[in-house]
Amino acid sequence: MNDFDFLIGSWDVANRWRKDFLDEASDWEEFPATSHGSRHFDGGANFDEIDFPTKGFAGLTLRLFDTERKEWSLYWASKRTGTLFPPVTGRFTEDGKGEFYGDDTHDGKTVRARFIWSEISATTARWEQAFSADGEKTWVTNWVMDFTRRG
């Protein structure tokens, strides 16, 4: 239930995202962010706010642990839209990697979304987003965040 405790505190975040989230040949764009995470419900909930200063927007993620299903639901909200996106759900494996899946839309197309948390240490973490537009036959990794703990 404490899987996301590693995110507590402040982070510098190096971002890379594809200019076209559904095209694996699309160029990558890099930009910075800062994030601050907090723990709630004795570890059964986690919240972080991330600011993308060069992009002019921010976002929030709420993570809730379902004690019966033993899985997390991750909810993203963007300042740009003011809406809560559909959740991705999943869990961490024994090797410390978290995989989370959900249904969404992008540019009017139905997609399957996948979030992966990996490379977690006391001072670093990696988050990756990928979309599948063909029923999970292929995935396009379209956003990568490398977290480095602040001072």
pLDDT means per 10 residues, the chain with 151 residues, are 94 97 95 98 96 96 97 95 93 95 93 97 97 96 98 81
Residue 151: the pLDDT is 81
Residue 10: the pLDDT is 98
- State the CB neighbour count (10 A cutoff) for residue 102: 19
Residue 69: the pLDDT is 96
Please give the model's pTM, rounded to 2 decimal places.
0.94
Residue 11: the pLDDT is 98
Q: Beta-strand (E) ranges in the chain?
A: 9-18, 28-40, 45-52, 57-66, 71-78, 88-92, 98-106, 109-118, 124-132, 140-149
Domains of the chain from N-terminus onward: 3-149 (2.40.128.20)
